Structure 1
C-alpha cells in the first residue's frame, strides 16, 4: 500500500470530519445571511481546525471575519487565500470570478486598516478580473474617496450604478462624493436612492433569512461586509442637508438614525453641529458630550465643542476643550510637555507647528512671549514658511527649524495651538496692532520690480485669493470659483493680482478670459515671496485660507470672505476680529450666498477706488 493514504478507521474518521466541517460551513452561511458574522467566523474556525483543506473554507472565513470587523485576522486569511490557490476550488452560484470577489472584500478590510493605497490595488485587481462587476467598481470608489481623489471616486461609483442600478452601495458612494464636492442637492438624490434600495434589500434579506436556506458560500451580491446600515444613510442625508444650509431639516434625519442605532456617535456629533448652526448652543454641547460618552476622547467631538465655545467668545472653556485633541493628549504623556505652569528660566523649549499653514502663521505670534520666559526657544514651521520666519527670528529671539529637519534637544515642548491656553489668552489679548511678520528686504525689492513691470502706478492693486487647500475637509464651503468674481474685474482703476502659486483648472480658464488679471504662478516659490508681493498691494481680498492670515500678520488691509457658519476663530456676527486689526470680515447672510458677499465687496471696492483716485 502506498505511504500516506488513509486506511480503515482513518478513512471513516476523515469522512466524518469532512462531513462535520461541511455542515459547519453551511450553518455559517446561514449565520452570515442573518448578519451574525462573528458567530459564523467561530463556526468556520472550528471547521478549519477539523479539515483545513476543505474547498472554499478559508475564503469564507476571510469574508466572515471581515464582515464581523475583525480586520487584522481577516487580512491574514485574505493573504493566505489570494497568495495560494484556495480561491480556485471554491464554487460560486453567480459565476463571478471568485478571486475578484475576494479581492474587493479584501479591499474593504484594507480600508478599515487605514491602508487605502493597498485597498485601491486590490480593487483594481478585482476590476481587471471582471470589468462588469459593479461591486468592484464601488470598492474602487471607496478607496479613491479615502485618497481624496474625488472626481475619480465619483466616476467609479457612477460606473457601478450603471452596471447595477439597484446597488445601494454605488448610490451611497455617489451621494457621499457629491457631498464632499460641495454639491448638496446632487448628494441628496444619490443618498435618497441609496436609502430606498437599502430598505428594499433589507426586506428581501429578512424574508430570505426566514427560510433558513443557506446561500452558496460566496454568492452574496456584494458580500456581507458591504451591507449599508440604514442608520448610516439617514445620518448622511442629515449631513447633506446641514452642508446645504438646512440644519433644521437635517435634525429629523439624525433623530431617525439614532432611533435605529441609539449609540451612533457620529449621528450625535452631526446633530450637535446642526444645532450649533442654528445657535442652539446648549443643545449642541449636550450632543457633543453624548457622543463622547460613546467614544471617549473622540477628537472631532472635542474640537466641535471647542469651536462652539471659542466662536461665542468663551476662551477659557474653548481652549480647555481644544486641549483635549489627540496631539495634545499624546504630548501631555511626555514629561517634557509645557502647560504654562512649568518655569522656563534657563530652559530650552520647542514650539511645534501643527495643522495648516494659516494656523502656524496665526499662532506663531506667541513665540516672542515664550522667548521672554525661556533661555532658548526653537520654533518649528512648515518648510514653505521657513524663509518668512527666518526674517523675524532675531527680533523674536527664537531659532527656526523646518518640519522634517532634525529637532534640537530641549527641556520642554508645546504645540503652537496650545499656546493660547498656556498663556491664558482672552479676546482682549490677541491683538498685534503693528503686525508681527515682514518680508525679507531682498524679496521686497524683487517683487516691487516684478509688480511694477505689470501694473501701472496710480491704480489700486488688489490681491484676490479665492481658493484654499482642496484637501481641507470643508474646502467646498470656504472656497469660491474665480468665475464668481468676473463682474468685479471690469472695475476701472483696479489691477487684480492673484497671490497664489497654484491655480485650479476651472480658475485657469477664467484667467485666460481676463488677460489683465495678474498671476505670477510658480514665481511664488515660498511664503517669503508671497509676503513680499502682499506688501506691494493696497488691499487683499481672501477666503479663509493662509493668504488671509498672512495679510493680517503683515498688517495689510485684508477683507476676509466667510461662509455662513465660519471657523471658530472668526466668531459670530462681527465685522472685525481681535486676531488681525487690519482685517474686515464679509459674511454670508445665508448658506452658500457668495453672490451677496461678492456684491457687497464690489460696492465697497467701488467706493475705495473713488477715494483712491
Structure 2
C-alpha cells in the first residue's frame, strides 16, 4: 500500500478518537513509515524519499475554524479542526499547543501535558510551551514539577515577564502573597508595558484582600490596552464583588463587546443585573451558564419549556447547582401546578425525602430515572431558568410561605424532646463547607468563626442549638462556655438530609445562620431567620437591603466593611436583648 494511503487510513481511524491525542499517533505513524522506507532502502540499495505535502492554506483554514469553535465554547469541534491541522503537518508546534490548550480547557490536563511535551521534542526552546506545560502540571497539583519547568524556561530567557507571572501564580495559590508580588515586580521590570503583569498584580492583590489595589491595577491595564477584553472583564468582575454594580456593568459590557463569547463575562453581568433587581437582563445573561457546565442535566428527547400552555401536560423541573439553590427555586413548581400542570422534579438525592412533603410536586426523580422520564414527560426546564421563562420581577417573586414542609411526626418528636426548654430557642449555623468557599475572594467568604457567637453566652434566657453539619474537628473548636446543644450523630442521617433539621427548626424561635442551605430551609419553612452576610454577598441578596423579597421572614445583617463580623454580631446581640426584654414585658 502506498505511503499516502497508509496516512489517509490512519487519519480516518483517528477521527473516531475523542480522548487520545491524534498528534501522538500520527507522529508515530510517520516514524513507522520512515522505518519501513529505510528497510526498503537497505534491501533494495535504493534511497526512497518520503514526501509529505504541505498545504499552508488548508492549515490556516483548520486553525481559523478551530479558533472560532474554541471561542464559542464548542471544544470538541475545535479539537477536530486542530487534529486536521496536525494531520496536514504533524510537526507544527502551533497545532500541538492549540490541542493542548483545548484539552486543558476541558480539564483533561493529562492529555494537554502529552501535547505540550510533544511540542518540546520538536522545539525545546519554545517558551510558550513551557508556560502552558507548567499550568497543566499546576492544575494536576504537581507544583514542584511546574516550578522545575518554569526554572528551566528562565535559563532560556531570564527576562521573560510571563515566566515570573506563572511563578507568582504558584505562590498565590499557597497564599504567599508577598512572594507573589515580588515576582510580579520582577515581571514589571522586564516589561513595564505588559498588560498581563498588571492583570496578575490585580489577581494577587484580590486574593490578598486588597480589593482597592486590585481595581487600580485593572484600571491601569484597561488604559494600557483598551482593546484587552480580559482587562475589562477583571475590572468589571472586581467592581461587582466590591458592590459597585453600575460601574461593573459598564466594564463588563465593554468586555462583552470586545469578546462576545467570553462566558464568565456574561455570568458576571447576570449577577450584577440581579443584584440591582434588573431581572430581565439578569436571566437573559444567566443562560450563558450552560456553556460553562461540563454535564448538562437536560434529558435528550424531551422538549424544552419556554412558556407554552401546560394545562393537562407534564413538566419536569430539574436542579442543576447546590442544595440551597434547589430549596430556593423549588417554589416555582408551585406556580406551574397552579397553571394546571402535572409537576415532576428531578433533584439531588439528599433532598428527595424533604421535598416529598411538598404537596405541589407530583413526582420526584433522580438522575437514575432516565427511561421513566422519557415515557411520561411533555416538557422540561431547569429550575434556575424559571424566573426568566415566567418573566418574574422582584415584585412578582412567589413568596407565599411556607412552601417547604417538615415531616409532621418528626416535628412532634422534636417538640417533645425540647419541651423542657422554656428559654428563647435559637438555632445557629456558622460554617460553610470549604469546597464551596475555595474560589471566593476573602471579601466574599461566608463562614464565620464560632468564637464570634461568644457574646450570646452572656444571656441567661436563651438556649443555642447547633444546626451545623459538624465533624469531630469542628466540634472541638466550639467553646464550652457557649453551652451549645449538639444533636446526636444520627441527626439528619437516619431520616434523610435536612429532615431532622426542618423538624427542629419548626420548634425553634429564631435561626441565625450564614448564607448556606439552612438559610433557604428556614426561610422556606416560614421561620424567623437572621442571615449573616459578608461585605460582598451573593447577588440574590441585593446590595444594602436588610430584607429579602424571596423570604418574608428573613432579616439580613451585613458586614459594614470587609471582614468585620464584630459589628454584625454586636447588632445580633442587641436584637436578642430586645427580644428578651420584650418577652419579659409580655409575661410580667
Common fold by TM > 0.5: yes
CA–CA separation in structure 2 for the residues paired with 1:418 and 1:81: 39
- The aligned counterpart of 1:571 is 542
- The aligned counterpart of 2:265 is 301
Cα shift readout 1:559-595 (whole Å, capped 9, x = no counterpart)? 0111223212211221111111111111111122211
The Cα of 1:91 is off from its aligned counterpart by 13
The Cα of 1:63 is off from its aligned counterpart by 10
- The aligned counterpart of 1:183 is none
- SS at 1:496's partner residue? strand
Name stretches of at least 5 consecutive residues in structure 2 with no aligned partner: 1-38, 53-81, 153-162
Matching of residue 194 in structure 1 with residue 183 in structure 2 = yes
**2:343 is matched with which residue: 371, 374, 377?**
377
Cα shift readout 1:52-88 (whole Å, capped 9, x = no counterpart)? xxxxxx8xx87994499656699779659989xx98x
- The aligned counterpart of 2:468 is 500
CA–CA separation in structure 2 for the residues paired with 1:413 and 1:462: 40
The Cα of 1:200 is off from its aligned counterpart by 4.9
Contact preservation (8 Å) 1:234, 1:256: yes
- SS at 1:582's partner residue? strand
- The aligned counterpart of 1:316 is 280
Question: Counterparts in 2 of 1:533-544, with a 5 A limit?
Answer: 533-544=504-515
CA–CA separation in structure 1 for the residues paired with 2:262 and 2:236: 14
- Choose 549-558 or 285-294, whichever is displaced more: 285-294
- The aligned counterpart of 1:584 is 555
- The aligned counterpart of 1:487 is 455
CA–CA separation in structure 1 for the residues paired with 2:284 and 2:191: 44
Contact preservation (8 Å) 2:547, 2:556: yes
Contact preservation (8 Å) 2:533, 2:556: yes
* Counterparts in 2 of 1:81 and 1:358: CA distance versus 1, 3 Å: closer
CA–CA separation in structure 1 for the residues paired with 2:291 and 2:382: 8
* Counterparts in 2 of 1:544 and 1:319: CA distance versus 1, 3 Å: same
- The aligned counterpart of 1:408 is 373
**2:148 is matched with which residue: 135, 138, 142?**
135
- The aligned counterpart of 1:209 is none
Question: Counterparts in 2 of 1:340-355, with a 5 A limit?
Answer: 340=307, 342-355=308-321
- SS at 1:461's partner residue? strand
Contact preservation (8 Å) 2:99, 2:115: no
The Cα of 1:286 is off from its aligned counterpart by 2.4
Matching of residue 594 in structure 1 with residue 565 in structure 2 = yes
CA–CA separation in structure 2 for the residues paired with 1:381 and 1:475: 29
- The aligned counterpart of 1:174 is 171
Matching of residue 418 in structure 1 with residue 385 in structure 2 = yes
CA–CA separation in structure 1 for the residues paired with 2:433 and 2:543: 24
* Counterparts in 2 of 1:578 and 1:75: CA distance versus 1, 3 Å: closer
CA–CA separation in structure 2 for the residues paired with 1:4 and 1:463: 84
- SS at 1:408's partner residue? helix
Cα shift readout 1:243-262 (whole Å, capped 9, x = no counterpart)? 67755433321133335555
- Choose 315-324 or 277-286, whichever is displaced more: 277-286
Cα shift readout 1:298-352 (whole Å, capped 9, x = no counterpart)? 3322222222222222223323333343269986998711122x11122211001
- The aligned counterpart of 1:446 is 413
CA–CA separation in structure 1 for the residues paired with 2:543 and 2:111: 51
- The aligned counterpart of 1:465 is 429
- The aligned counterpart of 1:147 is none
- SS at 2:477's partner residue? helix
* Counterparts in 2 of 1:504 and 1:590: CA distance versus 1, 3 Å: farther
Contact preservation (8 Å) 1:431, 1:580: no
The Cα of 1:557 is off from its aligned counterpart by 0.8
Name stretches of at least 5 consecutive residues in structure 1 with no aligned partner: 18-40, 50-57, 94-101, 128-132, 140-165, 179-185, 204-228
Contact preservation (8 Å) 2:242, 2:536: no
CA–CA separation in structure 2 for the residues paired with 1:438 and 1:292: 43
Contact preservation (8 Å) 1:478, 1:563: yes
* Counterparts in 2 of 1:104 and 1:295: CA distance versus 1, 3 Å: closer
User: How well do the aligned residues superpose, as a CA RMSD in angstroms?
Assistant: 4.5
What number of residue pairs does the alignment pair up? 484
- SS at 1:436's partner residue? coil
CA–CA separation in structure 2 for the residues paired with 1:418 and 1:202: 46
CA–CA separation in structure 2 for the residues paired with 1:495 and 1:590: 30
- The aligned counterpart of 1:158 is none
Question: Counterparts in 2 of 1:52-63, with a 5 A limit?
Answer: none
Contact preservation (8 Å) 1:466, 1:481: yes
* Counterparts in 2 of 1:467 and 1:78: CA distance versus 1, 3 Å: closer
* Counterparts in 2 of 1:528 and 1:233: CA distance versus 1, 3 Å: farther
* Counterparts in 2 of 1:332 and 1:68: CA distance versus 1, 3 Å: closer
The Cα of 1:236 is off from its aligned counterpart by 3.7
The Cα of 1:362 is off from its aligned counterpart by 0.9
- The aligned counterpart of 1:157 is none
The Cα of 1:193 is off from its aligned counterpart by 1.4
CA–CA separation in structure 1 for the residues paired with 2:292 and 2:165: 40
- SS at 1:606's partner residue? helix
